[in-house]
Structures are given as C-alpha cells and as structure tokens.
Amino acid sequence: MSCTLFFGGARSGKSRLAERLAQDSGKEVVYVATARAGDGEMAVRIAHHRSQRPGHWHTVEEELALAGVLREWCAPQRLVLVDCLTLWLSNLMFSDGRAYPEVGEVALPPRFHEERAALLNALDAGLPGDVVFVSNEVGLGIVPWGAVSRSFVDEAGRLNQAVAARADRVVFVAAGLPLVLKGAQC
C-alpha cells in the first residue's frame, strides 16, 4: 500500500493533481466523495466535480464512515481517492445535529472521535491498496472568529498532521503547483 496526501487552499489545484495521479496509476480507481449537498451552492460544486471525473471510475459517496469504506474498497489492483478529508471532518463535527456556541468550549460528538480513530487505525494497520487523500489547509490565514470555527481549524490541522505522519508522500499545492514535502516526486 502507498498513501499520498495532497493538501492546499481552496482552488489550489490539489484535487486536479490527485485525480491526475489516480488516472496515471493504471489501476482501477475508486473515488470516495465525502461532500454533502446541504445547499444549492454545494450541490453545484458536487455536480462540477462529478462532471470532471472519468466515467469509468467507481464513485462511493460516504459522509462519515470513511475507515469502513477504505477497508471495503482498498485492494492491490485499486487506487482509492478520497476527496476530501476536511469535508469529512466537518460532517463528523455536525453529525449529531448539535448547535455549537460562539464562545466557550466545543465538545465534539462521540462519532467524531470514533471515526477519526478508525481512520488512523486503518492507516496504521495497512490497507491492501493505494490511497490518495485530498485535504484543505485552513490554518494559514487569520485565526477565525467563533469557537466552532477555531475548533474546526484546530481539528483540520491535527488531522492533516496525523495523516501526513502516516503517508508515504505529502504534497502541498498552491496555484496548481505541487511542492513535495515528503516522499517521491509526483
């Protein structure tokens, strides 16, 4: 198994580069979409991503149980592309429908901790195929206003660090250009 993490800002080109790596792999590609169409704008984004993917790729839509999907779909002849970890993280943060305070401590739902641990455990145990993750880097700007926004930035940074520590290759993407931070060139 090989594990690659592409991360960068919004519209940095990270998904395009991850998809090109998947296409060039010569393997069967399973695309794991974590997005939830909670409003019209997000539905448009999802439709755009769908239209950009090759028709022969298999798509699995999963908002929460990412580790289970990886265990089910990873195989030596496959490359599993997960886009994206930060949307998945957001889904987990709001998985129990709670409202978060603007000020004070943010207590994340139990499912958040369970699914995050399950993902990292699956990576630690090794998966029988190649996995490519796409994630946003949200911690390069100003510190956001509001407790839930700060919690999201903190958790996204922690998740990116944890996946990067387990990955064979880590690629930061800015303006469509890859900067390999760990592992082989793309």
For the annotated catalytic residues, the residue numbers are 49
Range list of H helices, the chain: 14-24, 40-52, 66-73, 85-93, 110-125, 147-166
Tokens 């594990």 belong to which residue?
Answer: 3
Name the maximum alpha-carbon separation found in the chain: 49
Give the containing element (helix H, strand E) for 180: strand 177-182
DSSP string, 44-71: HHHHHHHHHS-TTSEEEE-SS-HHHHHH
Distance CA(134)–CA(84), nearest Å, equals 5
Residue 113 phi/psi, 5° resolution? -65, -40
Distance CA(163)–CA(71), nearest Å, equals 16
